[in-house]
């Protein structure tokens, strides 16, 4: 699997994933020029929440790579023609333009932007899913695996043909861009569902007896954020905690649940009900760190999520004594396995 450090250092790896421009919209809305295809240096800086100087310095260091992905600087008659077509009012003698591919390229190069890190993390998750899509290798596995092989064929077609086709159409389309993005997202949802279905079938094929936690995470995924907070509160009560209070919402001072362990330690909990493909970022751990120990003076800080944690987030948790409860641990906890920190 490609990791973030390798992506930052290897142009060949970046070239291999630069077509996945839809991840930009998954993290944050990218405002486009009236032509529906390009953004300026100022707009790129605003998206990544850095200064224009940072973007210009990055372009200086990686100009050839960015130009291969559509970055260009308009001057003279070409600039005048572009202004006329797009309706841009500018008196500058030149204008740098970034298409979506170049913006994603920037996200894979900027080291000190939290937004860029989020784009990279989402991009790597999408790439991991694409690389691990099982395909039919013509090995005979018996009649019971027919649906399995069909799912794999459909998933392969969606991931390798249909989604890239939508990406190309979106890149070239201005008038129907929103509709194409919506259709592309629907196709990706089907792709993820088929992938999950295949993984469940594979697990059932190799399971030694019935799976002990069947249905637990499906039930939790169906909860809204308020129900999820009350679910976590119920788990705390089940495991012997007292004075359990749900605070989620405005005025919660950065925590969702507070409680006291059976041996008298104070607990604060942050609950995040995220989609499984959307990890918890380091910035969210840093924010909770201040709320849990500084504002509340807690003895135990739990960050409970329905998804995974990025490596940076886990590093912060380990360094500062926060207990991350990811999807796998949440499933076991919900099934009756107490968290070690509460014992």
For 263-320, write each residue's pLDDT tens digit: 999 999 999 998 877 889 988 999 898 888 878 888 999 999 998 999 999 999 999 9
The pLDDT, as a whole number, for residue 182 is 73
Question: What average pLDDT does the chain have?
Answer: 80
The pLDDT, as a whole number, for residue 135 is 46
Q: Could you give the 3-state DSSP secondary structure of residue 306?
A: coil
| Cα 218 from Cα 85, distance rounded (Å) | 50
The pLDDT, as a whole number, for residue 276 is 78
**Higher pLDDT residue, 232 or 185?**
232
Q: Residue 244 phi/psi, 5° resolution? A: -80, 120
Kindly tell me if the per-residue pLDDT of 196 is higher than 50. yes
- What is the mean pLDDT of the segment spanning 124-131? 68
**Higher pLDDT residue, 155 or 338?**
338
Kindly tell me if the per-residue pLDDT of 28 is higher than 90. no
Domain 222-342 CATH class label: alpha beta
| Cα 185 from Cα 192, distance rounded (Å) | 10
What confidence category does residue 244 fall into, taking pLDDT thresholds of 50, 70 and 90? Answer: very high
The pLDDT, as a whole number, for residue 159 is 54
The pLDDT, as a whole number, for residue 147 is 47
**Higher pLDDT residue, 26 or 307?**
307
Kindly tell me the burial class for residue 84, based on how many C-beta atoms sit within 10 Å of its own C-beta (0-12, 13-18, 19 or more): exposed
The pLDDT, as a whole number, for residue 208 is 43
The pLDDT, as a whole number, for residue 26 is 80
What tokens appear for 293 in the block?
A: 């120990």
Kindly tell me if the per-residue pLDDT of 141 is higher than 60. no
- Number of other CB atoms surrounding residue 309 within 10 Å: 23
**Higher pLDDT residue, 152 or 84?**
84
The pLDDT, as a whole number, for residue 124 is 81
- Number of other CB atoms surrounding residue 75 within 10 Å: 12
- What is the mean pLDDT of the segment spanning 224-245? 92
- Under 8 Å between Cβ of 323 and 339: yes
What tokens appear for 252 in the block?
A: 């919660």
- What is the mean pLDDT of the segment spanning 38-60? 94
**Higher pLDDT residue, 135 or 170?**
170
| Cα 291 from Cα 38, distance rounded (Å) | 40
| Cα 33 from Cα 208, distance rounded (Å) | 56
The pLDDT, as a whole number, for residue 209 is 46
Kindly tell me if the per-residue pLDDT of 148 is higher than 60. no
The pLDDT, as a whole number, for residue 132 is 55
Kindly tell me if the per-residue pLDDT of 189 is higher than 90. no
- Under 8 Å between Cβ of 152 and 198: yes
Continuous H helices in the chain:
4-9, 11-17, 23-27, 41-48, 52-68, 76-86, 100-107, 114-131, 146-157, 163-172, 177-206, 216-221, 225-238, 282-289, 311-320, 327-334
- The predicted-structure confidence for 155-181, as pLDDT tens digits, reads as follows 555 555 565 666 666 666 666 667 767
> How far from 210 is each of 30, 194, 214, 218, 230, CA to CA, in Å?
46, 22, 8, 17, 28
Kindly tell me if the per-residue pLDDT of 41 is higher than 90. yes
Of 24-28, 81-85, 95-99, 100-104, which gets the smallest average pLDDT? 81-85
- Under 8 Å between Cβ of 158 and 191: yes
What tokens appear for 71 in the block?
A: 């970055």
Q: Who's near 180: CB < 8 A, 6+ residues apart?
A: 166, 169, 170, 173
C-alpha 321: how far from its chain's center? 24
- Under 8 Å between Cβ of 23 and 119: yes
| Cα 206 from Cα 204, distance rounded (Å) | 5
Kindly tell me if the per-residue pLDDT of 235 is higher than 80. yes
| Cα 137 from Cα 109, distance rounded (Å) | 36
* Closest to 267 (Cα-Cα) out of 237, 289, 298: 298
| Cα 245 from Cα 20, distance rounded (Å) | 43
């Amino acid at each position: 699997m490609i990791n973030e450090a390798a992506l930052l250092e290897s142009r060949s790896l970046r070239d291999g994933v630069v077509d996945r421009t839809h991840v930009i919209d998954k993290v944050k809305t990218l405002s486009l020029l009236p032509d529906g295809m390009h953004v300026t240096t100022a707009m790129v800086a605003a998206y990544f929440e850095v200064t224009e100087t940072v973007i210009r310095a990055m372009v200086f260091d990686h100009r050839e790579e960015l130009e291969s992905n559509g970055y260009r600087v308009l001057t003279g008659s070409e600039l005048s023609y572009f202004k006329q077509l797009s309706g841009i009012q500018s008196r500058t003698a030149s204008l740098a333009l970034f298409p979506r591919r170049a913006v994603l390229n920037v996200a894979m190069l900027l080291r000190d932007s939290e937004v860029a890190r989020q784009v990279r993390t989402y991009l790597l998750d999408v790439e991991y899913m694409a690389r691990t899509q099982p395909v039919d290798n013509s090995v005979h596995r018996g009649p019971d695996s027919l649906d399995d092989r069909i799912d794999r064929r459909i998933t392969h077609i969606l991931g390798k043909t249909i989604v890239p086709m939508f990406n190309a159409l979106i890149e070239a389309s201005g008038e129907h861009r929103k509709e194409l993005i919506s259709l592309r997202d629907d196709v990706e949802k089907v792709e993820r569902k088929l992938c999950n279905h295949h993984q469940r079938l594979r697990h059932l094929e190799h399971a030694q007896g019935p799976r002990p936690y069947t249905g637990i995470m499906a039930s939790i995924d169906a909860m809204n954020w308020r129900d999820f907070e009350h679910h976590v509160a119920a788990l705390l009560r089940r495991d012997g905690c007292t004075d359990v209070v749900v605070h989620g919402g405005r005025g919660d001072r950065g925590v969702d649940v507070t409680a006291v362990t059976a041996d008298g330690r104070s607990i604060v909990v942050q609950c995040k009900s995220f989609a499984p493909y959307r990890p918890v970022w380091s910035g969210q751990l840093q924010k909770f760190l201040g709320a849990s120990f500084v504002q509340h003076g807690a003895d135990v800080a739990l960050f409970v999520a329905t998804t995974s944690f990025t490596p940076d987030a886990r590093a912060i948790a380990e360094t500062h004594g926060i207990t991350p409860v990811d999807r796998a641990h949440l499933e076991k906890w919900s099934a009756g396995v107490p968290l070690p920190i509460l014992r």
